[in-house]
Structure 1
Amino acid sequence: DTVEMQRLRRVKQLGFTNLIYPGANHTRFEHSIGTLYLASKLSRRLGLEEDVIELLRVCGLLHDIGHAPFSHVSERALKHKHETVTKDIIRNSAITDIITEKFNANYITKIIDGKTKYGQIISSDLDVDRMDYLIRDSYYTGVAYGVIDTERLLYSLKYDENDNIILTQKGVQAAESTLLARYFMYPTVYQHHTTRIVNAMFRVCLKQLLNDKIVEEKDLKLLDDGDLINIARNTTGLPEETMKNLDTRHLYKKIDTVNLANFENPEKIVNMDAEILTEAEEEIAHNLDIAPEEVIIDLPEALSFKDMVIEVETDNGLKKLSEVSTIVDSLKK
């Protein structure tokens, strides 16, 4: 019941995606409860003790508490990732006093980071965080790609002798469906072309608010979606104009697309420094004789399975999932 936790009731899970999928009004609070629930189920399946299960429930509940208004939409305009803010809230807020009655705050942040024996449950290639958001996002957008068999997946995970979570042979298909769900949800929902346009427009608006000191980044952890919208609506100039455009769905149009495959090093392009992007936008605007804020170069968020480490228990010992599954092998290429 803390202010920090209740704020998540008013922070949408998918930001402005409801402009494209009208049902996508679910929140970070709901997702946090769902992650808590799945963390509890998987912990019991793994045979963990009750105090550890309670600890992991807390981690599941708090793992996203540092998200700014509009979640990942805002994050690309900020200096600090939500994981960093989450750690700060867990260590230095009213929540700290509550959790430290029984648990160590620093240990909780390590688990949320995916470290320690228990961190794999909250943050890994097959973690309860991803399981929940794929199912939840699929349900509220009406996109069927995110439907996965969580029951089979949860009951197919176990610890090996080195305390690494591995997959039993029976869970291979469930793991495949989970990874495929993530693969298909990216272009269909998370990176939908209209979603990217709306998100990019709002990021420019937020950058303006930050640059003009209308909003301080450190204060965003106290604000919800409605707070930030009201600030933008009442700020003359670009912020107010952006909100009017979003209200009337008067969106920017895509004028050109460049295929990343045409570049020698696509990852370098995706991770290009923000200052270089801004310079490119300004140059294009100058050549077209329009205002710099009317040009946006939007780079896609990278989705890669190359570094994925999931091992499967087979009759011939542990094998990488990509060695057992041709589907997963294709995803890694």
Structure 2
Amino acid sequence: MTYKSVHDPLYGFIDLSELEIRVIDSAVFRRLHRIKQLAQANAVYPSASHARFEHSLGVCHLAGRMAKHLEFDDKMIRAVRLAALLHDVGHGPFSHIFEPVLSSINHQEIGHEEISQMMITKDPELSGILGELAPQVASVLAHKPVPGWTLQESMLAADVISGPLDVDRMDYLRRDSYHLGVDYGHFDLDQLLHTITTTKDTGERWVAVNIKGWGAIEQYRLGRYLMHAQVYQHHTIVIANRMCIDSMLRAVGSVIDPDELLVGSPNFLENYTKLDDQSLSDRILSSNGVAAKIMGRLRRRDLLKRVCEIYPGSDIPDPKARLKMAKMNHATQQKVASEIAHTLHLAEHDIVVHTSHIPVHHIEDQILVIRDGVPRHLNDSSPIISSHSPIDKFYIFGPDNKRVRDTVRDYMCSEFGIL
């Protein structure tokens, strides 16, 4: 039953239940107002100031539409909408780019999904609002069997929120495009939702699309590819995000108390939810040292420049050299950056090495299209899919002057045979 309606620039009025409004009014959810969706993307797109808050409302709305179209019963619709509403509640400052900081502190990979599930079940206010629904909502987000549901119901509900054709991506592609003022992420949402179906008679149930939605699926796939290529992996956004990560990592031990952010410690959630984009950046800026210097450069948009850009697949002729670059992890990238900085007598934070991977097949491989009653992978017959390959780019960022460029060129020639 609709309790209140809120207006959204993409969908018009979004109807919300009384329970959903209570969740939205909780402290941990309202914190999402203060966490930008795209971190440092405003370095390129000045209007990229939208937050996780409105994205979460949009995902809740789309989850409800998809669940109704798939004829979920009322209990499933309620839980799926709540899971969609809360799927990003665990994000830290600057969204995804805080995850390397939290993972470094805890010496293991920790994503916002794990924190979201923790908040749903352990935050006193939020878990109190959800009551007996809290374990169900957390299980949907964790892709685990939901208490009281069949395995097929659990699988399908999780697939709606986080799967090859999920409402999370459907919302952020269109919402990011809208706020950035670009057309890359647009696709026919109504046709896509109208032709959404599920696999049947396979022992498992997954979200799929009827062959009549073929055109919308191709738009969706191409939109995701273009948003990665033109927005999410734009070289200026890449370096702005990397400088922000570097600043936060260097603030650990001074501005950021690592003991306060140990997952599983008694006051972890209390400490974690005090952090947002503004509060953390202000604390870093008010400190002394390299972290404050880097954050100050971000504030002034005084970014490191792209002094080297390589497409390994076409720019490196030697297969062994290509493989060497492909195997570079964060540690080896840091080693390369340190060697170049040392040669130039620069501080280590003045050189950044980064590899961008623009996915094409990674997720879309698994999108199922129902044709003649048989589920098939989209890439089996898509001419667009078959004509594109993943794009890797290798960057070195640093001060933009001839000495730096010449040194980087000499290094790349000696290490990878690039002239």
Instruction: Please report the TM-score for the alignment, with normalisation by the length of structure 1.
Output: 0.92
Query: Displacement of 1:248 after TM fit?
Result: 2.0
Q: What runs of 5+ residues in structure 2 fail to find an aligned partner?
A: 1-24, 104-109, 145-154, 263-270, 391-419
Query: Displacement of 1:109 after TM fit?
Result: 2.8
Which residue does the alignment assign to 1:165? 207
- 1:31-77, Cα deviation, whole Å (9 max, x unpaired): 00000000000001011111211101100011011111111222234
Query: Displacement of 1:155 after TM fit?
Result: 1.2
1:223 aligns with 2:275: yes
Measure, in 2, the Cα distance between the counterparts of 1:60 and 1:267: 40
- 1:304-332, Cα deviation, whole Å (9 max, x unpaired): 41452122221263322223321133346
Query: Displacement of 1:236 after TM fit?
Result: 0.7
Which residue does the alignment assign to 1:88? 118
Which residue does the alignment assign to 1:97? 128
Q: 1:280 to 1:224 in 2, by over 3 A?
A: same
Which residue does the alignment assign to 2:185? 146
Instruction: Tell me the SS of whatever aligns to 2:80.
Output: helix
Q: 1:156 to 1:264 in 2, by over 3 A?
A: farther
1:47 aligns with 2:71: yes
Measure, in 2, the Cα distance between the counterparts of 1:133 and 1:267: 34
Higher relative contact order (CA 8 A, sep 6+): 1
Aligned residues: 331
Which residue does the alignment assign to 1:29? 53
1:117 to 153, 156, 174: 156
1:317 aligns with 2:374: yes
Which structure has greater strand proportion? 2
Instruction: Tell me the SS of whatever aligns to 2:354.
Output: coil
- 1:167-215, Cα deviation, whole Å (9 max, x unpaired): 1011111111111101000121111111111111111101101254634
Amino acid in structure 1 at the alignment position of 2:216: A
Amino acid in structure 1 at the alignment position of 2:128: D
Q: What runs of 5+ residues in structure 1 fail to find an aligned partner?
A: none
- 1:290-317, Cα deviation, whole Å (9 max, x unpaired): 1111111122145241452122221263
Instruction: Tell me the SS of whatever aligns to 1:222.
Output: coil
Q: 1:92 to 1:12 in 2, by over 3 A?
A: same
1:245 aligns with 2:275: no
Amino acid in structure 1 at the alignment position of 2:226: F
Given that 1:270 and 1:302 are in contact with CA atoms closer than 8 Å, whether structure 2 keeps it comes out as no
Structure of larger gyration radius: 2
1:305 aligns with 2:344: no
Measure, in 2, the Cα distance between the counterparts of 1:297 and 1:102: 48
Measure, in 2, the Cα distance between the counterparts of 1:315 and 1:164: 17
Q: 1:294 to 1:211 in 2, by over 3 A?
A: farther
Measure, in 2, the Cα distance between the counterparts of 1:323 and 1:316: 16
Query: Displacement of 1:242 after TM fit?
Result: 1.8
Given that 2:160 and 2:166 are in contact with CA atoms closer than 8 Å, whether structure 1 keeps it comes out as yes
1:11 to 10, 29, 35: 35
Measure, in 1, the Cα distance between the counterparts of 2:58 and 2:240: 27
- 1:130-170, Cα deviation, whole Å (9 max, x unpaired): 00000000000011011111111111111222422221011
Given that 1:157 and 1:167 are in contact with CA atoms closer than 8 Å, whether structure 2 keeps it comes out as yes
2:345 to 278, 282, 289: 289
Measure, in 1, the Cα distance between the counterparts of 2:29 and 2:287: 28
Instruction: Tell me the SS of whatever aligns to 1:21.
Output: coil
Given that 2:228 and 2:358 are in contact with CA atoms closer than 8 Å, whether structure 1 keeps it comes out as no
